[in-house]
């Protein structure tokens, strides 16, 4: 099994650089826009959290190529089981920016009615399954859903995302072992960003890479430059072809780096060397794609600052709408739990509504600390 890292963007050939199979000029431009939207969305959300306007956020700055390049391969038959650092995948699959921002606030327009952690999205129309906080649980979910598609005779696949820290979880072993044995059409995408919160990769595994672990399970393992969106697309596309052809799963390791903190509650300067950060900032996936596009003649006048202003305006409008939207009504606590509400819960709901009617709804403490 080769551990050479697949890279596409940098090339010494003269003329227009070659694009991977399945990628045309329009898709390159679309992926650039999606990566930039993800970056600007993360930047705005982190500032909102610091201002106390939302409670919590998990940024994906520096990892946009892994999410966008892989999700761009998917069709409306495929399923996504993400971790909490794939907002780019949600956008690529067509999730609405406004719906994403509503989820940050957990307001009445949030499709989970404020019940989930911020940045724990789920979008039914995009087959983007709800994110869970426990590390690695989505791995077995993705393997099982893919197996269900195989049993139903669908030529589709699931992709499940996780970080390097999740490769130490029981679910990693269980999911990969099951998928390999039964040839479940699943793509396991590890965004190896070098740090599981404050635990470096060197303390996570003694293997020479994450991709090499695939050999023990009996599936292909591919190591790809995770900051090269075209290489990510190529690796994922090839894995998708295998899955649809009934050849089983693939483990992809996207080598990347978490530029920002683990979450808005983390301070990476306490454990991460500044030299490592500077090294990876020079490999910024958006800047690399921009340089490629200019060399290939794909850069347009509408890109650069005009595109930044356009996207920022869309995000600002979404934030304005979200902040003008009321919080979920108390009665929604009882919705979407049972098909038929049990009598004891109906009684509790009615008692709560009566209490609010007579005493007034309790005011939320705006100064209360977010639990994380």
Active site residues: 258, 262, 271
DSSP states of 12-70: --SSSPPPPTT--HHHHHHHHHHHHHHHHHHHHHHHHHHTTSSS-----TT-HHHHHHH
Instruction: Specify which residues 187 forms β-bridges with.
Output: 159, 250
**Inter-residue contact 331 to 353 (CB < 8 Å):** yes
Contacts of 19 (CB under 8 A, 6+ apart): 25, 28, 230
345: helix, strand or coil:
helix
Q: Determine phi and psi for 96, rounding to 5 degrees.
A: -80, 130
135: helix, strand or coil:
coil
Evaluated on CA atoms 36, 37, 43, 46, the torsion sign reads negative
Residue in the structure block whose two tokens are 């930039």: 36
Q: Whole-angstrom distance between the N-terminal and C-terminal Cα of the chain?
A: 42
């Amino acid at each position: 099994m080769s551990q050479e890292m697949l890279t596409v963007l940098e090339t010494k050939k003269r003329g227009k650089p070659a694009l991977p199979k399945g990628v045309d000029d329009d898709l390159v431009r679309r992926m650039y826009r999606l990566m930039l939207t993800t970056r600007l969305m993360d930047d705005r959300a982190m500032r909102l959290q610091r201002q106390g306007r939302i409670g919590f956020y998990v940024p994906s700055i520096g990892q946009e190529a892994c999410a966008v390049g892989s999700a761009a391969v998917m069709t409306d038959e495929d399923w996504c089981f993400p971790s909490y650092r794939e907002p780019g995948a949600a956008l690529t699959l067509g999730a609405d920016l406004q719906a994403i921002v509503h989820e940050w606030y957990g307001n009445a327009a949030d499709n989970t009615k404020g019940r989930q952690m911020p940045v724990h999205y789920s979008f039914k129309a995009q087959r983007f399954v709800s994110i869970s906080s426990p590390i690695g649980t989505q791995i077995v979910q993705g393997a099982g859903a893919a197996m269900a598609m195989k049993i139903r005779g669908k030529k589709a696949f699931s992709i499940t995302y996780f970080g390097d820290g999740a490769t130490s979880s029981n679910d990693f072993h269980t999911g990969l072992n099951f998928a390999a044995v039964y040839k479940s059409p699943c793509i396991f995408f590890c965004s190896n960003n070098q740090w599981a919160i404050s635990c470096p990769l060197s303390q996570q595994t003694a293997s020479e890479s994450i991709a090499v672990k695939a050999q023990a399970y009996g599936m292909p393992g591919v190591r790809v430059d995770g900051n090269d969106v075209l290489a990510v697309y190529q690796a994922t596309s090839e894995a998708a072809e295998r899955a649809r052809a009934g050849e089983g799963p693939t483990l992809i390791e996207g080598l990347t780096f978490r530029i920002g903190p683990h979450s808005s509650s983390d301070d990476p300067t306490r454990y991460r060397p500044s030299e490592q950060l500077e090294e990876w900032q020079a490999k910024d996936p958006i800047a690399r794609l921009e340089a490629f596009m200019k060399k290939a003649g794909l850069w347009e006048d509408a890109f650069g600052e005009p595109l930044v202003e356009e996207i920022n305006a869309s995000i600002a409008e979404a934030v304005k709408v979200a902040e003008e939207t009321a919080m979920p009504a108390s009665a929604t606590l009882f919705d979407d739990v049972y098909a038929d509400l049990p009598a004891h819960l109906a009684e509790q709901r009615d008692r709560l509504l009566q209490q609010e009617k007579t005493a007034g709804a309790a005011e939320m403490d705006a100064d209360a600390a977010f639990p994380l």
